[in-house]
Structure 1
Amino acid sequence: MDEVIDDPRAPAFDFTVVNDENAGIYEAILDDREIAGLPYDAAGDDRLVLLATSVFPKYRKQGIATELIRRVLDDVRAQGKTVTIMCPVVRAFIDHNPEYTDLVDPEHPGVAKGHR
């Protein structure tokens, strides 16, 4: 979680984010391999439940989680969906980037603000 709070710089790697809708995961891909992921459950047609952000140890503390979360939330916004947050790392990201607060479903917010 420190990465999201303390590392506002761009990630050291230029990775691609792929939404594998069949598996229910956004994957960060670098050189044809997954380096991080953010699994989700679809809750109807208009909401995603974001479950847990993970970054492979070799790639931690380099801004990968921050950028993955940002791109996932940008994609959610582009689709006109909302999110329920079950991942404390995503919650911390939104706490520190209030421009994404509007994406949190008011009836199903998930992890409480400030929860760590």
Structure 2
Amino acid sequence: MTEQIYEIRHIEGRNRFEILVDGREAGYASYVPREGNVLDFNHTVIDQAFRGRGLSLPLIRAALDHAREQGATITPSCSAVAHFISKNDDYRDLCENRTP
């Protein structure tokens, strides 16, 4: 299997993280900033042409790592983000209520 080359970027003005494959947007994770330095991750989408490649995992990980670096807590309104956290205990401390 060939290693995937992708880029993840934070588009702060659009409140989202994008994952690009070969320069093409393959998906995004969006958030809504809330009072008290809380980021509500409310939507994760991987374009149909890129599904099945596991791209949501590095996308969500990068978004949550960014939240941690900023000292923010998160609300995992998006089921994909909540599922990721339920499988990765080292991110549970970021949750506003600590149980996604």
Same fold (TM over 0.5): yes
What does residue range 57-96 of structure 1 map to in structure 2 within 5 Å? 57-96=48-87
What does residue range 1-116 of structure 1 map to in structure 2 within 5 Å? 12-44=3-35, 46-106=37-97, 113=100
Aligned positions, number: 98
Which blocks of at least 5 consecutive residues in structure 1 are unaligned? 1-11
Which blocks of at least 5 consecutive residues in structure 2 are unaligned? none
Matched letter for residue 13 of structure 2: N
Q: State the identity as a percent.
A: 29
RMSD: 1.6
Shift of 1:31: 2.4
More strand by share: 2
